[in-house]
Amino acid sequence: MDKKKRRLISRTIILLLLGAALVFALYTNFTKDKNESLRKGSEAPNFVLTDMEGKEHKLSDYKGKGVFLNFWGTYCKPCEYEMPYMENQYKNFKDQGVEILAVNVGESDYAVNNFITKHDLTFPVMIDKGREVENAYRVDILPVSFLVDKEGKVIDIITGALTEESIQKHMERIKP
């Protein structure tokens, strides 16, 4: 009788362990994104970059505000496409506690300054010279925008060109 009980317990434990291993395998496989990008809901990696006017921006200083973090390049057409819309929405939302940080993927000052002048951008634009921020955010395809909420969590990651309407919608989502 005792033996039988022991056997039942050991079988249960072994089956539970194996079941847990299987669930774990499925879980890690499905939370892993195809381009190994950041997970939604995870903490946005902190960084410090200096914008083109010489002002330092530390992401953690924006706690309490929503941050629309955009990665872009001057050679990337869809990036250029969404820039004017970002500029428009920036004007609408900057008083409502949503900031735009536009991180260029390591181009020259010359190229970025020319681009800012061309599109009359007023939000902070910064160059990630060492590609470190890009690595931290595992940026693969441009453009990509990370929606960081007031707690500093990445609530969504959007790749591809955005329309003005969708930018507005996303800004609403991170409005504190």
Between CA 123 and CA 84 the distance in angstroms is 11
Residue 5 touches other proteins, criterion: CB under 8 A: no
Half-sphere exposure of 171 (CA within 13 A, CB side): 24
Q: Which is nearer to other proteins, 68 or 115 (CB)?
A: 115
Half-sphere exposure of 52 (CA within 13 A, CB side): 23
Structure tokens at 41: 């809901």
From residue 142, alpha-carbon distances to 19, 29, 82, 111, 173 in Å are 40, 25, 12, 17, 22
Coil/strand/helix, residue 72:
strand
Largest Cα–Cα distance of the chain, in whole Å? 85
Residue 113 falls in which region: left (phi positive, over 0), alpha (psi -120 to 50) or beta:
alpha
Q: Which is nearer to other proteins, 22 or 96 (CB)?
A: 22
Residue 4 touches other proteins, criterion: CB under 8 A: yes
Q: What is the CA radius of gyration of the chain?
A: 22
Residue 63 touches other proteins, criterion: CB under 8 A: no
Residue numbers 93-132 binding other proteins by CB under 8 A? 105-111, 113-114, 126, 128, 130-132
Q: Which is nearer to other proteins, 95 or 120 (CB)?
A: 120
* Residue from 38, 40, 45, 158 binding other proteins (CB under 8 A): 45
Of 20-28, 85-93, 157-165, 166-174, which segment contacts other proteins by CB under 8 A?
A: 20-28
Coil/strand/helix, residue 171:
helix
* Residue from 33, 41, 43, 48 binding other proteins (CB under 8 A): 48
Q: Which is nearer to other proteins, 39 or 173 (CB)?
A: 39
Binding site for other proteins (CB under 8 A): 4, 7-8, 11-12, 14-15, 18, 21-22, 24-26, 28-30, 32, 45-49, 58, 73-75, 77, 105-111, 113-114, 126, 128, 130-133, 135-136
